Chains A and B, each alone.
Chain A
Amino acid sequence: MQRIGVFVCWCGSNIAGTVDVHAVAEALKTEPGVVFSTDYQYMCSQAGQNIIKDAIRDYRLTGVVVCSCSPRMHEVTFRKTASQAGLNPYMVEIANIREQCSWVHKDVPTGTEKAIILGRAAVAKVNLNAPLTPGESLVIKRALVIGGGIAGIQTALDIADAGFPVDIVEKQPTIGGKMAQLDKTFPTLDCAACILTPKMVDAAQNENIRILSYSEVEKVGGFVGNFEVTIRKKARYVKEDICTGCGACVEKCPMKKVPNEFNLGMDNRRAVYIPFAQAVPKVATIDPNYCNMLKNGKCGLCARVCTAGAIDYTQKDELITEKYGAIVVATGYNPISLDKFDEFAYNQSKDVISSLEFERLTNAAGPTAGKLVRPSDGKHPHTIVFVQCVGSRCDACAEKGKEYCSKICCMYTAKHAMLTRDKYPDTEVYVFYIDVRTPGKNFDEFYRRAVEEYGVHYVKGMVGKVSPEGDTLKVQASDLISGKQLHIDADLVVLAAAIEPDASARPLATMLTASMDTNDFFTEAHPKLRPVESPTAGVFLSGACQGPKDIPETVSQAGAAASKVIGLLVKDKLTTNPCVAQSNELMCNGCSSCELVCPYGAITYIDKEFRMPDRSIQIRRVAQVNPAVCQGCGACTVACPSGAMDLNGFKSEQIIAEVDAICR
């Protein structure tokens, strides 16, 4: 028989306001096994915890029931308290009489009655509790970073600097991500390449970092400290270790009309290509969709000109399986497709472009070598209209666009407008905005500079329509301050497209069993207190995969994610949750039902000898649970017809006792 102590918390007036705490303590005194019962203003306070510790010693308690807030809040606290007093922490149960009682019911009699019943259920459960001891699992001291943009690079560098090996998996032929495509960065206007490319080189040269470019994650198994990940290294038909990146193949390749994705299709590349001059790894890649040799066996020019002999048309995708202790998701973002925004004529006119395309047009390494010209005729634009919030802040029911604010558009549009006026003072620049959102260090100052020093016309209102007419783009917009409808003949219209998570994020989340919100952004473990951790243990979040972010925010989150990873990897062992499934071999049928429902592959079978009553020996197949792998969901316990499988901490007997106590 257990000796149970009951501790009823007032939580100030949070509980005591709707629950007669004395009555609860009094009523629970008569429950089977209860030898001590009391109440106190704040059980979680030092004084409250001392009451529990004293009672455990004075009354030789074997079990503790705390009637208080949600176990999600203070179960850990009270377990620690118990263990400080020498009681096994798993002998503590919480009756949730705040969130699920005092806060949702209005009158004292109802609240008190329910609190007593909830307390009774907890006492019934503790009566059947058994001491549990956490196990241990080894931590593989290697991290995986998925995504090689600035977020992934920064996370990898920080982890590597702490001395742990890191793999970066990047699906493109080079790392660098979106930042590599940008021209200048707000609000300091330093050039993106100047600050990013040294980091890319650092990553490539860091002996703790292995870059798996042109690769994708295919399968994820295992658990925190011990993930097993299969990575598909796509065939690039060039031997990465031999290629010197000289570019001779690119020069000779006769397939010249391949849309260049790095410049968003505004110019062409060859079938064999290096995305950009500072690519890391600086290795050529053959595009199998365009290469004549790969498509129909005719050509082979690149192999002939390659002095290193790096071209290999027979290369196949390679599957790499590696073990990791931690995984960082840094899959980033993409601008949304503008196909649905007919009113802005994005698909009708070449001179209506997205902001990312504008970045490439003004980038010295871009298709026009940094000269801002109209994509249609190469002429210098004199009137440029920027439209903000294209697809951002849309109603959830609207078919196009996203509900959220994309966060970065206000600032980069201010940057674009300012730089245009700076370089081409003869241009008129209009920015149509709904609100200008500039919360960030030196952000508003930057925006004001665009207006005050550079004379950018900021117009409060939206563009309703863009119609291409001959050489010009007729822009019809409203100016809400003056109450006029404006008609502007523009030469170039730039749309600040909303950003969305990369399409690879959703399937990846499924593989990682990490949760996502309705917009496909990864969910953090706690929006305020654990912003870089996914709720799935061992999975961390870095950059825009978690929500729209600018570069400084991304970098700081990347560093934060890295420090969390380092904190995990420095441990040699993790204590495992002892609330795991356990198979009673005497009752196990060996039928495999549990094995088939286990999402973690924690169950295996062995043949075991059993001594029968007649002294004969029988060999039976029985299930065994690996406690380090089991996460304690309990799916197996229901699949098991004989009830041989049970879950520590949530045994069938305990749950039935709770049911009985509630239904008494």
Chain B
Amino acid sequence: MQKVTAKTLSGKAASLLNAGEVKYVLGWKKGEFDYDITPALFESAEELEKDFVWNDFSCANLSKYLIKYTRSLSGKILVFLKPCDTFSFNQLLTEHRIDRQKVYAVGVPCSGMADEKKIRENADGITAISETEEGYLVHTLYSDAPAFISKEEALLEKCLSCKGWAHIALDEQIEGEVFAPSADRFDQVKALENMTPDERYHFWQNELSRCIRCNACRDVCPACTCEKCVFDNPNSGVENKAAANSFEEKMFHIIRAFHVAGRCTDCGECSRVCPQKIPLHLLNRKFINDIDSFYGEYQAGLDEGSRAPLVDYDTGDLEPSQVFDWRDGQNA
């Protein structure tokens, strides 16, 4: 359950709308199910009153939508940004993708988000989910008594290693406490690195063979914001819709991770939305970990205007041939 209430947020948004300070509000509303909270654009206090949702399922990172809306809408847009979303927002500002003048950014403290997949793993036919202080009561078609799952058990992967706020100039910040991080986000990356190549290969083969190329990861990713993706571009030499060319199907994830390397804020949206539960964030975190250890720590989106590691260099950089020995030395 979030410490800041939905009423606080919608009330704030409604008053700004009514005062004419903003013309639109980018927030969340309920989709098909209780766990299915989706981004939504509101234009009036009435709509907000009716549909605005802010709870443990308001995971969606709204920054990416600002690219589209700041271009197509005239008038200021209020956007709610959770701490992790501020990194993406900063990164998009750095890349000149958002017209800051048209945005009214409101920082929302977050108490940690729930992973619908973790909840659905043990419950079929969910009809409703209600939040309690300690966790969630899951109502299903097949049982009269709701099942309970604790907040810790259902916590979203990215919240385990929450980064807090980026250094950002918000128009307004709602007061409140931010969920404190605990885990080392590179634990799994390091575990994989310490496996044998065969083990790693089988791990990834097992994961990636489930991919159905639905492009959900690409569509949700706030770094994957290309006007036209190379995989959709007939002139890139790699475009292919059908699997006649094996390249696209198989290498999509590596190239996608490479294209966002140094720009990925580790917001975790890719893994969250993957219908096949592929841990795509482990590819991104691999690049982040490598960048941190080879070239010095770098957090994309922490500061607006910072220079991404892949558009930068140092004359004393590690040679590609030294990478493995060097890392083996570090891990040992």
Contact = CB atoms under 8 A, between A and B. Distances in A.
B289 interface: no
B216 interface: no
Interface stretch (B27-35, B80-88, B146-154, B230-238): B230-238
Contacts of B235: 584, 643, 646, 651-653
Interface string B220-256: 0000011111100101111000000000000000000
Contacts, number: 72
A663 B9 CA distance: 58
A655 B237 CA distance: 9
Contacts of A592: 95-96
B236 A643 contact: yes
B226 to A, nearest CB: 4
B238 to A, nearest CB: 7
Interface stretch (B173-181, B307-315, B321-329): B307-315
A586 B228 contact: yes
B71 interface: yes
Contact of B227 (A589, A605, A657): A589
Contacts of A644: 227-228
Contact of B311 (A584, A596, A616): A596
A646 B307 CA distance: 22
Given A596-B312, A618-B72, A642-B226, A591 B237 contact: no
B311 A643 contact: no
Nearest to A642: B226
Nearest to A128: B237
A587 to B, nearest CB: 5
B309 to A, nearest CB: 11
Contacts of A258: none
B227 A642 contact: yes
Interface string A649-664: 0011101110000000
A244 interface: no
A588 B227 contact: yes
Contacts of B238: 656
B237 A587 contact: no
B237 A652 contact: yes
A655 B238 CA distance: 11
A449 interface: no
B16 interface: no
Nearest to A591: B95
A605 B96 CA distance: 11
Given A639-B311, A652-B237, A656-B237, A586 B97 contact: no
Interface string B255-268: 00001100100000
A642 B228 contact: yes
A655 B235 CA distance: 12
Contacts of A616: 72
A109 interface: no
B227 A586 contact: yes
A464 interface: no
Nearest to A653: B237
Contact of A652 (B229, B236, B312): B236
Interface string B37-73: 0000000000000000000000000000000000110
A616 B71 CA distance: 10
Given A618-B71, A620-B71, A593 B228 contact: no
Contacts of B233: 587, 642-643
Contacts of B229: 642
A597 B313 CA distance: 9
Given A591-B95, A592-B95, A596-B312, A643 B71 contact: no
Given A641-B226, A642-B227, A642-B229, A621 B311 contact: no
A589 B225 contact: yes
Interface in B199-227: 225-227
A592 B230 CA distance: 17
Nearest to B92: A591
A619 B230 contact: no
Nearest to B74: A616
Nearest to B71: A618
Contacts of A619: 71
B230 A643 contact: yes
A652 B231 CA distance: 13
Q: Give the residue among B228, B229, B263, B308 with the most A Cβ atoms within 10 A.
A: B228
A644 B236 CA distance: 9
A639 B310 contact: yes
Given A616-B72, A643-B230, A589 B236 contact: no
A385 B311 CA distance: 59
12 contacts: A586-B228, A587-B227, A589-B95, A590-B95, A593-B95, A596-B312, A597-B311, A639-B311, A641-B226, A642-B230, A652-B236, A653-B237
Given A589-B227, A592-B96, 10 more contacts: A587-B226, A587-B227, A589-B225, A593-B95, A596-B307, A641-B259, A642-B233, A643-B228, A643-B230, A651-B237
